[in-house]
Structure 1
Amino acid sequence: MGVTFEDDICFEIVEREKREVRQKVRLQMRVGLDLCVLGLISLTVIDTPGYGDTRGVEKDAIVSQKLFDLFSSKDGVHEIDAVGLVVKASENRLSDRLRYIFDSVVSLFGKDLEENIVALITHSDGIAPKNVFHALEAANIKCAKNEKNQPLHFLFNNSQTTEKTEDNEFGLETAWRVTNRGMGRFGEFLKRSKPQTLSKTVDVLNERIKLAACIHKLQDRITSIELKMTEINQIKEALQNHKEEMEKNKKFTVEVDEVYKKKQQIGGGMWGLVFYEAAVCCTVCEENCHYPGCTMAWSPSDCVVMANGHCTVCTGQCPVSDHVKENWIYVTKTRKVQITEEEMKKKYEMSKSESRKTGNFLDSLQREMKSLTAEQNKLLDEGYQQVLKLEQNALNVD
């Protein structure tokens, strides 16, 4: 802005008071970059460092969660003028990592943002990079199109920091002109494009959170069913071995792997003045209704998995009052226990006459298995319905 090729300095921070300026610069780098040039432009740039991190997809989930928090926070960002996908002009196919990053970013937004997604092409010589267009098309990247039905794009060549010499001045000037024209055209696009509110995007992110919670719950339910099946098979085998004792109403004891829930501490706590990372759990169902990823809610009533005063995830859709937000979760465990016939009768609410009949006892166990399986099918259906909602609203369902 207001800089020419002949200028030796493009941008400079004057440190009058080093500590104060450094703190200000660090703050700007954390929450975005506010530029006010001659009172004419106010621009907020949101960078997304960390996608495709080699430490695993968990780090990507943190980036997505922070963007969701930024978009849904009262004091956050509520509309977007443009989403820029940065790609080198030399790319003739998107690498798996770059495609994963683009898919991850695009999947955050609603379908109404497609016309605001553009390609920012770096290391450009000023010629239309048809190979990049083919690469974006082959990867099925959703973005705005120009009048030639090409991805809407802007060209840049960031060579401004290279020292000028007699040998490279011509090349640097060409790079400057490419960047200056690209920046000018991008500025014109920002002026004429219609900012999109992020209400649909927040809805998409909410659906993804609910789907993730449903999947975590489903995984826990599958584990519980497998462990319960082991317990039932152990009891069934024991009953066969003690059939004679049962028929004679003699007392006996069997050893089984009993399934139970235990609280386990997790990391979390407050970071900044807005975010509180912990798990929302139901103390009645002993289920983790929103974990991981619950950061914006200060209490269970503020959590996105709550609706009309009830939980949309836990088994009985329990009221909010049955939930807590704490730095622990429920985990499913097993322990070896000795169980007597009387304890079995009490546990499975059988009468004395029923306990003499092995078949009736197993029927009681099988009814519990059916109940668990029915809940698993219900969770599968809920997950499917959430995927259908994403297909209606999300720019990228995957």
Structure 2
Amino acid sequence: MEAEAPISHTILLIGETGSGKTSFLNLLCNYGIIQELGINTGIQHFHSFNEIKLENVNCDKMQSKTSDALKYTVSLGDTNLEIIDTPGFGDSRGIKEDKNHVKRIIDALKKEDYVNCVCLIINGRSSRMSATLSYVLSEITSILPKTILNNIIVVFTNTTGLLQLSFDLGALKHYFGRNLEHSYCIENPYCLFEKANEKKGLMSKELLAESLKDEFERTAKTLNKLFATMKSFELVQTNDFLELYKKKEKIEETITLALAKYDTQSELKAEIEETSKKIGDAISESEYNEKFKELQSTMKKEPQGTNYHNTICSAPRCFSNCHEHCSIPPIFEEYKFKYCACIDGDYCTVCGHHYAMHKHLYFKYVDVKHTWWETNPLKEKRFREAKNAEERARLLKKELEEERDAIIKEKEKLFDILIQAIEEFQALGINRSFMKVLQSQVSIIEHHLEGNVDTDPNSSGAEKLEESKRELTKKIKIVKEANK
């Protein structure tokens, strides 16, 4: 009779970088050794953690361009643990690298039909919700479907029990929508070997061995409870993860398209404003030059007849009425003009000319205005050019406005697609707000920028952070505009 095939349980191991995920993975993979050491721990086991080898374990690299996604198969008698180890979130290389991590996780899940549980690893020594952990939880919940919510096990590392736990369990409700039912605290007992080595000269070997045995026994009991909980879960199809990821990708794709339309609209707006300015300039130029036919005028001195005689200067271009209605009788001899009231000595007090230049005449000079229209060729040319420029600018503006209106309609269609995609994403996923996912990404970037206040703001690292922040701010603006 053939032996029954072992039952497989698939675990998705996920957590923040530095949370103790790798250490916990080693515990799972060395489960058999931990049970053995919990029964009998001798002095021969006093070796470093790095010397513990993975027994009864097969390691299979995921078919990916990176070697970060690993799948471990641990044989436990009638049960196989299929552990999918994932890259740690909150990568120091930035948000884009975390997006690559998500893709690796999805690629790994594509090779599986079901997942039994998600093990969320959190460093139990953390006394508060850090900016990085907040961001990591936001990212993790954005790729977890609602169907896995009952199958999440929180593992707090570096702590022996809930009473010693510094972390506020209630803080997780903000990210998962409710309190998570299953949580375990594990202090890696392998780390105690080093401490035991330090105390070998201070304590008896038997006492040290007994202490280590107790720690391994406690860890084995905790792992047994964890496995029992995991085995009680109903299977969740990996298709739920893939479908949620598709919705998230659809959102990102639609936002990218909307951003392109937004940028085009902004460019068109600037062109329209520039064209409007050109129209205004052309109008001003045409108005300035529209009177290219200018009314010319000049004043001329012309004689006007009188019934009396007047002393008039006859010097060239003088046209001076030196003494109107002269009181002395009309005279013709030049020397007699010395007696005219306008003459003082030999010169006229009115025009300044010699008395001999004066005559008695029966007219006087008056100012007569002469006007006529004169065309200014330069102004006429400028007027015609300005009118043509205005017409061309108006045609261009009309074309730009039509193009802008078409872009706005396309953008509105994208907004409808975006809203639908966000609603579907929020309906499928644990994270019910895509907007908060984006805001969390902005917050972690700001946290990194604040933490690098001494860094040159013009450095490539700071510039990349600022560029990422600007890009995310645009995305948030698009989502807000779509929801108006």
TM-score (norm 2): 0.50
Q: Is the 8 A contact 2:121 2:156 kept in 1?
A: yes
Counterparts in 2 of 1:358 and 1:190: CA distance versus 1, 3 Å: closer
Are 2:242 and 1:207 aligned? no
Q: Is the 8 A contact 2:120 2:154 kept in 1?
A: yes
Describe how 1:90-109 pairs up with structure 2 within 5 A. 90-109=125-144
Counterparts in 2 of 1:221 and 1:123: CA distance versus 1, 3 Å: same
Matches of 1:193 and 1:26, distance apart in 2: 25
Give the corresponding residue for 2:37: 4
For 1:42, which of 73, 80, 83 is the aligned residue?
Answer: 80
SS of structure 1 residue aligned to 2:100: helix
Question: How many percent identity over aligned positions?
Answer: 17
Matches of 2:167 and 2:285, distance apart in 1: 78
Which structure is higher in helix share? 2
Give the corresponding residue for 1:364: 399
Give the corresponding residue for 2:375: none
Where structure 1 has 5 or more consecutive residues not aligned to the other structure, the ranges are 15-20, 146-150, 248-352
What's the CA shift string for 1:130-172, capped at 9, x where partnerless? 6535343464445774xxxxx3112311022424443654543
Q: Is the 8 A contact 2:69 2:105 kept in 1?
A: no
Matches of 1:208 and 1:12, distance apart in 2: 39
SS of structure 1 residue aligned to 2:37: coil
Counterparts in 2 of 1:126 and 1:235: CA distance versus 1, 3 Å: closer
What's the CA shift string for 1:315-364, capped at 9, x where partnerless? xxxxxxxxxxxxxxxxxxxxxxxxxxxxxxxxxxxxxx9x9486555333
SS of structure 2 residue aligned to 1:34: strand
Matches of 1:128 and 1:186, distance apart in 2: 18
Q: Is the 8 A contact 1:122 1:158 kept in 2?
A: yes
Give the corresponding residue for 2:378: none
Describe how 1:196-275 pairs up with structure 2 within 5 A. 196-242=236-282
Runs of 4+ in 1 over 6 A off after TM superposition: 244-247
Describe how 1:165-176 pairs up with structure 2 within 5 A. 165=200, 166=203, 168-169=208-209, 171-176=211-216
Q: CA deviation at 1:123?
A: 2.1
For 1:89, which of 110, 124, 135 is the aligned residue?
Answer: 124
Matches of 1:46 and 1:11, distance apart in 2: 20
Give the letter aligned to residue 227 of structure 2.
G
Are 2:60 and 1:55 aligned? no
Counterparts in 2 of 1:92 and 1:356: CA distance versus 1, 3 Å: closer
Give the corresponding residue for 2:155: 120
Q: Is the 8 A contact 2:115 2:238 kept in 1?
A: yes
Q: CA deviation at 1:27?
A: 3.9
Q: Is the 8 A contact 2:73 2:81 kept in 1?
A: yes
Q: Is the 8 A contact 2:146 2:430 kept in 1?
A: yes
The number of equivalent residue pairs is 277
Are 2:182 and 1:152 aligned? yes
Q: CA deviation at 1:206?
A: 0.4
What's the CA shift string for 1:57-98, capped at 9, x where partnerless? 111111111222222x3xx12311111111233333221212
Matches of 2:404 and 2:80, distance apart in 1: 61
Counterparts in 2 of 1:33 and 1:69: CA distance versus 1, 3 Å: closer
CA RMSD, 1 decimal: 3.4
Give the letter aligned to residue 91 of structure 1.
S
Matches of 1:81 and 1:25, distance apart in 2: 19
Counterparts in 2 of 1:33 and 1:377: CA distance versus 1, 3 Å: closer
Q: Is the 8 A contact 1:84 1:120 kept in 2?
A: yes
SS of structure 2 residue aligned to 1:109: coil
Task: After superposing the two structures, state which structure 1 stretch, 33-42 or 205-214, moved more.
Answer: 33-42
Q: Is the 8 A contact 1:125 1:175 kept in 2?
A: no
Give the letter aligned to residue 157 of structure 2.
T
SS of structure 2 residue aligned to 1:395: coil
Are 2:224 and 1:184 aligned? yes
Are 2:415 and 1:385 aligned? no
Matches of 2:228 and 2:238, distance apart in 1: 22
Q: Is the 8 A contact 1:84 1:119 kept in 2?
A: yes
Greater radius of gyration (CA): 2
Give the corresponding residue for 1:69: 107
